[in-house]
Amino acid sequence: MAGRPKGLPKTGGKPKGYSDEATKGARELFKQIIEGEFHYIQESMAAARKKDPIKYLDVLSRFTSFVLPKQVEATITDNSIKVKTSDE
Phi/psi of residue 67, nearest 5 degrees:
-110, -45
Q: Does residue 43 sit within a domain?
A: yes
User: What tens digit of pLDDT does each residue of 32-61 get?
Assistant: 998 999 999 999 999 999 999 999 999 998
Q: Does residue 12 sit within a domain?
A: no
| Number of domains composing the chain | 1
User: What tens digit of pLDDT does each residue of 2-40 get?
Assistant: 677 888 877 777 777 777 888 889 889 998 998 999 999
Res 81: pLDDT: 67
Please report how many Cα atoms fall inside a 13 Å half-sphere around the Cα of residue 28, on the Cβ side: 6
Q: Does residue 50 sit within a domain?
A: yes
Q: Does residue 22 sit within a domain?
A: no
Q: Which residues are paired to 73 by β-bridges?
A: 84
